[in-house]
Structures are given as C-alpha cells and as structure tokens.
Structure 1
Amino acid sequence: MGLAYMPGFGNDFETESLPGALPQGQNSPQRAPYGLYAEQLSGSPFTAPRGTNERSWLYRIRPSVRHTSRFKSMSAPYWKSAPNVDDGDLPIGQLRWDPTPMPNEATTFVHGIRTMTTAGDVHTQVGMASHVYAFNTAMEDDYFFNADGEMLVVPQEGTLDLFTELGRMAVAPGEIAIIPRGMMVQVGLTDGPCRGYICENYGAKFTLPDRGPIGANCLANPRDFKTPVAAYEDKEKPCRVQVKWGGRFYETEIDHSPLDVVAWHGNYTPYKYDLSTFSPVGAILFDHPDPSIFTVLTAPSGEEGTANVDFVIFPPRWMVAENTFRPPWYHRNIMSEFMGLIKGQYDAKEKGFVPGGMSLHNMMLPHGPDAFGFEKASTAKLEPVKLDETMAFMFETRYPQHVTSYAAESQTLQDDYLDCWTGLKKRFDGTPEGNWD
C-alpha cells in the first residue's frame, strides 16, 4: 500500500493500478482502457464554484449501478440520526462516560457503531452525530456507504484497514481518516479488536480552517494529508452493499466486489492525517488562548465564523505562560462540545476521564477543570512544562447535542461526574489575596 501526498484541498489527483488504465485528455472516452467503465462520483452540485466543486472520475470493472436484487431494509438499531430529540428522557447536564466495552460476540464495523449524541437534521443536511465504535470482525463480503454525511473516524484502540473505492488506508490510533459521503468502504482490522470515535457530518464537508493572523504556517498543513493510491478487488462471488440513507439502513445483493476501481482522478477522495504532524500555537507570555487555535478541520455553516462542526485536538505541547491559570478556564459557550481521549491524560481532568472515555458539555452549560485540576494549576510553580503522551479531541458544533437512549442508559455513564467540582470551595474573604488555606 502506498499513499500520495495531498498538496492542497481542491486540487486534482490521479492514480492507476495498471499502466495506461487512466484515460488521458478526456474523462469518458468511447471505450475506456482495459474494457473499464467510466463513472463520476460527485460530492458537490454540478454548478458549485470551481473552488468548492468536487468530483472524481472512477474507471471500474463494473458500474456501481449493477446489482442483483432490490434494496431492502436493514437493521442497525444503535445507529441514530438527527432529529432524535425524544429518544430518551435524561435531563440536561454535564455528562461523562467510561470507555465502551469491546463486544463479546462477532461484530463488524457497521453493527459496532453506537450513537451517543445527535444534532441538527440529517434530512436538511445540517448538524452532526457523535458515535463510538467497537468491533472485532472484518467485513469480508459486506461493503458500506453513507449517503447522509461524511465520516471522520478517530481510532483509539486497534488499527483500521479502510479499503475504499479509491484505494486502501491503514489508520492507527493517533491518526484520523475521512470517508466522504457516498464513498464505498470495507472496514477490516489488522491487530485485534478496534475501538474509536466517529463524527458523522451531515453538513458542508470538512476543510482546513483559515489561519487568519497566524499566517502561512502552523496548525494542520495540507502536505500532511494523504490520499490512497488506486487498488482494486476483482472478486466474483455473492456480496452485499449496505447503505445509510435518510437516517435509515438498506442493503442489496451484488455478485462481485464493488471495490473494483482500477484507476481514478479527481478531488473527491478519502484521506488520512497523522495528528502528530499538527503544529500547535499558543500563548508565550500570559493568558490561555481560546481552544479554536487547536482546530484541525472545520465544516462551515452558512454563518461566517460559526462552524457546523469543528474537529479540535489537544496534543502534546509546551506550557510557558507567566502568571496564568494554564488549563482551560471555566466557561459557558454557545457551541456544544463532545470530547474523547485517545491516550494519556487531559490536563483539565486528570482523574475520571480515561482513554476511550467521552464527555458532553452542551451549549451554555458551565464546565471547566475539576477541583483537583484547579488546585494543582493554581499552586503550581510556573516554569516551562511540557504536556506529553496526551491526545484529547473535541467534536464541537453550533447545534445542541441530544443524548440518545443508548448513551443515557449505558452502564458506562458516570453517575458521579458532577462530584468532580464539589471541592471548588469559597476562597473569597474580602482580602485581595483570598483564602488559600
């Protein structure tokens, strides 16, 4: 398996797995090389501006329209879509979960997905859903595509083998992958059971955020995003295609593998990114900056500066600010924050928030460091300190995230999460110094 550098979003790529399989000079010749079929996969309206128009031309052994049975309904009861506001009766509040257990029975990727929150409306293509996945069995003759949104996949345990129509990607913990809306994928595993997180983005696709005053460098750089090279599967045996469409699930029978694209070119592609290549920026004198400086990808909404979804990470970094409370401050926010931890500790919650766990702080609900974190940061010697061996992330959206019944009733829900702030005692005593005894 090889990966090609991604020089910039919006640029075309071309790759072939057989010499001469990719037509030159035109997209749909009367007879494509090797007897292949030309097929276009569009990720934007045909009339979208050039800078946002996305499509790829696929040269495949059989066109994807060919299947041997009508679509029929399929059950995926734990995968929910917005609007899903009446799924449970858990009151609003700050919430946290322990890691989702690995399944005991044979479970594939699609059936191992559990929806934690939904936001917006899948039918009008706004908002998102937060999922956790845990599975232990590869999809052998099953293939899946999501017509409702693109999927940002964040592995936490185990390396994923993502075999897409446009090629194959191995995605390990510490990396992320984007599977575009409508892109066929077969998910396998390479080193045991897998667990992680998914942001299902119903709205405008993820892209790099503008850097503004930061300038031309730092944060996520386009060169570090990688797309797969062409790889095909010439398999003739009964297979199934599973589809998520309009919040429901369907499947159909085919007599071959749909991963039969021998060559392709275009800019509508899956890709992966190594989070360790993110170049963080931060305060080098005083104060703790907003978490937006850690944005890796953003999916814009119709309102400038207000995201449909932001994907934010909290990576290893140096803390050097003087006379400053260095962890995130206490705050209330118009955005709704779903957090996960890939490895290590999160500096604002060193206890109770463990790798594989999750938390939800919805719009305008207060949150911030626990009592232990506040005490430690308030009394620490302020010398340069490196936060190392850590990687937390956040799916942040402008819409309220509604908790599913699965999440509300899960045995991993921490009933005592609110207790982490109980020790924040009164320190006001009328003196400028306050009471720190």
Structure 2
Amino acid sequence: LYMSGFGNEFSSEDPRCPGSLPEGQVHTHPQKLRKCDSFINNPQVCPYGLYAEQLSGSAFTCPRPANKRSWLYRILPSVKHKPFTAVPCGNLTENWNEVEPDPNQLRWLPFTIPKSTEKKVDFVAGLHTVCGAGDAKSRNGIGIHVYACNTSMVDKCFNNSDGDFLIVPQQGKILITTEFGKIMVKPNEICVLQQGMRFSVDVFGETRGYILEVYGAHFELPDLGPIGANGLANPRDFLCPVAWYEDRTVATGYTVINKYQGKLFSCQQDFSPFNVVAWHGNYTPYKYNLENFMVINAVAFDHADPSIFTVLTAKSMRPGVAIADFVIFPPRWGVADRTFRPPYYHRNCMSEFMGLIKGHYEAKEEGFQPGGASLHSAMTPHGPDAECFEKNSAAELQPERVAEGTMAFMFESSFSMAVTKWGLQTCQKLDKSYYQCWESLHSHFNPNWKPSKK
C-alpha cells in the first residue's frame, strides 16, 4: 500500500494498532488516567507504550519548504544497539585516487551478476563503486554504484549516513523493507532511500541495478519555468509506503550495517529495526514509475537539450547547477523537421554516466547494452556513433516513435568524476574498443557547396 505525492506531509499507522499516532502533540497522547492504568496508559508516553524518535533530513533551522523530518513511533528506539565496529567494504569505496585519471570515453559491457550456485551475495555485498567525486565528510559529492546480487538480506539492514541512494533496478524486482513500510520496486521504476533510513532488500533471483548517491543534498523535482504547472515528473505519481511493523526478537543477533564517511561499520542488536508502528512527516522513502514521465520535446525544428528529460535533481549552491540530475530517455514521438534528430555531438562541463534498463539506445544501438554503462567525463567529446550519423543524415523525416521498448537514463553531475580501480580494471567489463564506434566518421566537407534555390 502506498500514498502519493512528492515531499508531502504524510501520516500513517499500522492498522493493527489504531490510534498509535499521537493527536495534537508529538511525544504523548492526552488521556485520562484510571486507578488501574499501567505504564502504557501514562499520558507522559506515547500510545501503546511506544517510543517517539525524530529522523531529521535537514538542519532544524532550514526554511520551511526545505525542512525535512519525520517522527517515528516505535517499539524500541534505534539507539539500543552494541557499538559499531569496522567491517570490510568490498568494492564499495570513496577513494577517488586508486588509479590515475582517465579522460577517455568509457563504456562497460553488462556487469556480471554472481551465480547463486557459486556464491550467495546479498545487496550490501553486491555493491560496487564505479566512479564518483567529492567527500562525504564535507557533505559535498556523489558516488555511482552498481549492485549485483542473488540472495535476500537476512536479519540484516543497511543505513547510509553519508547521503541519499537513488536506486534504478535493471534486472529483477526488489522488495525493500524500510522503517516506514515496504516498497516493491521493479525495472522501469526507481526508489529513493534518503540519508539515515534503515532498509533491507529481498531479491527473487539474479538481480542487478544502478545507484546514484548524493552527499549533502536531497533530490527534488526540477523547476518547470516556461513549461508551466504541469509536465515532466508530476508530484502525484511519487509513492511512499504506509506503516508496517514487526515486533520480532532475534536471539542470534540482528546486524545493522552503517555506511559512514565512505566506510562500512556494523553493530548488533537483538530486535528488528522495522518496529515502527506509526509515523508522520515529510522525510520518507519513495518510488516512481518512469512510465508516468510526461515528455516535453521539440515539435517544429532543432534539437532540445537533454535537460528536458530531468526526473529529479539534487541542487548545488550555484543556481542552475546540479550536484546530480537523474535524466531519462523514454519512448516518445520524434516530429522535428529539417533537423538531425538523434543527440548532437557534444563536449560538456558536466560528467555524464549513462545506463540502459532495456531496449536499444537510439545513438548507439549495438555496443550499449542493458545492464552496462558509459561515462563521458567533463569536456570529453561524445555523440552518435558513425552508423547512427550516416543513417539519420539521410533519413526521410516523418513522424516516428523514438526509443519504443527502450529506457535509457543518465546520471549527470557538475563534478569531474574519478573512476575506481574496480571500474577500470577489476570488473573486467570495460569495453576497450568503444572508441572505434567513431573511427569510420569521415569528412563530408565540400568547399564548392552552394545553397539550393528555394
């Protein structure tokens, strides 16, 4: 079950405990005491004897539109756990200096999913950092990861103290249990798990996807400007879960994995962290179906910039410049006349990481595959391959469906991103022949050309 609306103030309580949300005040519930009342009927505590805990996603003094917080009413507070200790990070890293910088166009073949018959790998163990920049300590930067796993998390949850996770499933649906409730996310949907929210991931076979992590900012809807009130991703299509709790003790210990300053730490507790009976606030996990995106496009001539496809943005302190944008290229109509329709050749002050959920991307229909990726770094030239250029330069322009059955996306960032050692070497999926897709481009220049008479 879900509630709709982006960034709204919501309230939810598990129907098994009606009245678990305090009325009129956050910590307690006004009640009359009787002589036989016990502790849980004390008006100084929450209904059902619950603990009140606030999860803040912004400074207390942020302006009201930017102030993010939720109140959680839980069976036991999250502070009850043994001390955190460092654990191996695997291929998850914030070390951007492992290898020398590489300004080349980079492309990866589909990332490998481990076989369950060979090794059991859950979501946390299956995290691999491809590239990133900045610093979690200073709360300014991003990380781009892939996950490849085959096993559900059992008596284990993950907590990201560094930033927000935007998760893009590519193969296999995932069931995410959060402190706010459960979220099922399938390929062609996305989910955002904001800083500090604990969650566990169940999978249903071999599973793969992409993650954009941002430090120090939260994702929001882009401003629409001259587009007006409607278009792109509409707020009502974003869904957050309703409250669901489990009151479960774990004799063998429940593991909480905490990502903190780019490293992993774990602690033990003897109860499930998903014991929130009720909650209210505007700081929640949420999901979005990419099929609901309302495309804005050129209908006369020329080629619009890819910013028209922005679903979510994480703004920087500079107006109009994003820490990261999440951009999609969904099925749409191409009708522009006297125009080369595919993406133009480009050098960009932003870094562009692209992934493919399904189908064939229009500018590179062969080498760019679902489950793979590409990175065009700051000021690195890129654009359609030679085959795409030749075919579309001679095409008869008629209205046509573009990207039917396809969903490509881009993580675009103002940071100049470093690629990790895993991304360049260890994963063994780097396509070293990528540059060859432009090798057959040749000159069409004719100094004797004359414009045709109308």
| Rg larger for | 2
Describe the SS at the equivalent of 2:271.
Answer: coil
For residues 60 and 284 of structure 1, the distance between their equivalents in structure 2, rounded to whole angstroms, comes to: 53
Shift of 1:303: 0.1
For residues 382 and 66 of structure 1, the distance between their equivalents in structure 2, rounded to whole angstroms, comes to: 65
Shift of 1:203: 2.7
User: Is residue 116 from structure 1 mapped to residue 130 from structure 2 by the alignment?
Assistant: yes
User: Is residue 180 from structure 1 mapped to residue 194 from structure 2 by the alignment?
Assistant: yes
AA at the equivalent of 2:120? A
Aligned to 1:255: 270
Describe the SS at the equivalent of 2:249.
Answer: coil
Match of 1:282 among 288, 297, 304: 297
AA at the equivalent of 1:27? V
Question: CA offsets per residue over residues 133-168 of structure 1, 9 Å max, x none?
Answer: 100111110011000000000000000111000000
Gaps of 5+ in 2: 29-43
AA at the equivalent of 1:95? L
Shift of 1:33: 0.8
Describe the SS at the equivalent of 1:200.
Answer: strand
Match of 2:55 among 26, 35, 41: 41
Describe the SS at the equivalent of 1:293.
Answer: helix
1:23-422 matches, within 5 Å, as: 23-29=22-28, 30-67=44-81, 69-81=82-94, 84-89=95-100, 91-104=102-115, 105-189=119-203, 191-237=204-250, 238-387=253-402, 388-409=404-425, 410-422=427-439
Task: Give me the identity figure in percent.
Answer: 52
Shift of 1:64: 0.4
Describe the SS at the equivalent of 2:256.
Answer: strand
CA contact (8 A) 1:64 1:258 kept: yes
Q: How much is the aligned-residue C-alpha RMSD, in angstroms?
A: 1.1
For residues 130 and 381 of structure 1, the distance between their equivalents in structure 2, rounded to whole angstroms, comes to: 39
Match of 1:15 among 12, 17, 41: 12
Aligned to 2:36: none
For residues 316 and 138 of structure 1, the distance between their equivalents in structure 2, rounded to whole angstroms, comes to: 32
For residues 291 and 433 of structure 1, the distance between their equivalents in structure 2, rounded to whole angstroms, comes to: 33
For residues 125 and 263 of structure 2, the distance between their equivalents in structure 1, rounded to whole angstroms, comes to: 14
Gaps of 5+ in 1: none
Question: CA offsets per residue over residues 229-255 of structure 1, 9 Å max, x none?
Answer: 001111101211010001111000100
Shift of 1:381: 1.1
The alignment's TM-score, normalised by the length of structure 1, stands at 0.96
CA contact (8 A) 1:127 1:397 kept: no
Describe the SS at the equivalent of 1:48.
Answer: coil
AA at the equivalent of 1:368? G
Describe the SS at the equivalent of 1:197.
Answer: strand
Shift of 1:192: 1.5
CA contact (8 A) 2:101 2:418 kept: no
AA at the equivalent of 1:382? L
For residues 251 and 140 of structure 1, the distance between their equivalents in structure 2, rounded to whole angstroms, comes to: 14
Shift of 1:78: 0.4
For residues 433 and 123 of structure 1, the distance between their equivalents in structure 2, rounded to whole angstroms, comes to: 60
For residues 334 and 183 of structure 2, the distance between their equivalents in structure 1, rounded to whole angstroms, comes to: 34
CA contact (8 A) 1:90 1:408 kept: no
AA at the equivalent of 1:356? G
Count of residue pairs the alignment pairs up: 427
Residue 433 and residue 227 in structure 1: after superposition, are their counterparts in 2 closer, same or farther (change >3 A)?
A: farther
AA at the equivalent of 2:193? I
For residues 246 and 112 of structure 2, the distance between their equivalents in structure 1, rounded to whole angstroms, comes to: 33
Describe the SS at the equivalent of 2:336.
Answer: coil
Shift of 1:90: 5.6
Residue 431 and residue 227 in structure 1: after superposition, are their counterparts in 2 closer, same or farther (change >3 A)?
A: same
Question: CA offsets per residue over residues 358-415 of structure 1, 9 Å max, x none?
Answer: 0000001100000011111111110011021010000000010100000000321001
The alignment's TM-score, normalised by the length of structure 2, stands at 0.93
For residues 175 and 43 of structure 1, the distance between their equivalents in structure 2, rounded to whole angstroms, comes to: 24
Runs of 4+ off more than 3 Å: none
